[in-house]
Amino acid sequence: MSFNISAGGSQTSRTMFEFGRTHVVRPKGRHQATIVWLHGLGDKGSSWSQLLESLPLQNVKWICPTAPTRPVSLFGGFPCTAWFDAQDITEDAPDDLEGLDASAAHVANLLSTEPADIKLGIGGFSMGAATALYSATCHIFGQYGNRNPYLVNLSSVIGLSGWLPCSKTLRNRMEGSNETVRRAASLPILLCHGSGDDVVAYKHGEKSARVLSSAGFQNLTFRPYDGLGHYTIPEEMDEVCRWLTARLGLQGS
């Protein structure tokens, strides 16, 4: 699926990203929530769909898209699947707003056709977690970075081993808007990070949680995992299941 780099269909954009295959895990019970789950750099949607299908969440539909294959500055321009371009995997690196907007719009498009009574969420790992957190900021502002409207109403955001893009400007952008502050305070966010992560250092995940909390994201949970590297473990996914069940009011899980 092609998607305009400037989310929302701006006529001035030139670059088109070709998103890869999307894998869907349908709920085994009554459908209560749909969550788009975003893989990490160089991965694909099918890698996570197999794990998510095994979770004891009978009421959740999982949508696992695959990022576009694009040149990545971190790898000297070598192409791989990536939700946006990254020069470095930290919250201090320059932000690829066009790439972030395009991927956030692709995710929003996947959620836009879900029934009105279904709770919507976004989760991800590593770069996928960064994209999920960027989508959370689009949700509270009601617009993408390019100011096109963001129309999806999110009920949950999960980030594993990730970081917050555009963290330097978040707090200033929120000042003066009561609606933005209200949305931030009510959006449930779960962040998990391993202290042994040698790809996205633990300090970046911890700092991202601090920035979000100080900006007004009051419903944020940060879970550290002692010794965990840049991967997930059953204990972490158990936490995800418990958190989603509680925050979304899921039944029969």
DSSP H or E segment with residue 181: helix 178-186
Residue 126 among the catalytic residues = yes
Contacts of residue 25, Cβ cutoff 8 Å, sequence gap at least 6: 49, 52, 53, 61, 62, 64
Give 205's strand partners: none
From the candidates 126, 135, 161, 208, give the one annotated as an active-site residue. Answer: 126
Residue 95 among the catalytic residues = no
From the candidates 39, 193, 204, 230, give the one annotated as an active-site residue. Answer: 230
Cβ-count burial of 103 within 10 angstroms (0-12 exposed, 13-18 middle, 19+ buried)?
buried
d(Cα 26, Cα 108) in Å, to the nearest integer? 18
d(Cα 37, Cα 113) in Å, to the nearest integer? 16
Contacts of residue 116, Cβ cutoff 8 Å, sequence gap at least 6: none
From the candidates 85, 96, 101, 197, give the one annotated as an active-site residue. Answer: 197
Give 36's strand partners: 63, 122
Q: Is the distance from CB of 162 to CB of 38 less than 8 angstroms?
A: no
**Residue 70 has what DSSP assignment?**
E
Task: Please report the sign of the dihedral spanned by the C-alpha atoms of residue 183, residue 130, residue 104, residue 76.
Answer: positive
Backbone angles phi, psi at 127, to 5 degrees: -60, -30
Nearest CA to 124 out of 158, 154, 100 is that of: 158
Residues involved in catalysis: 126, 197, 230
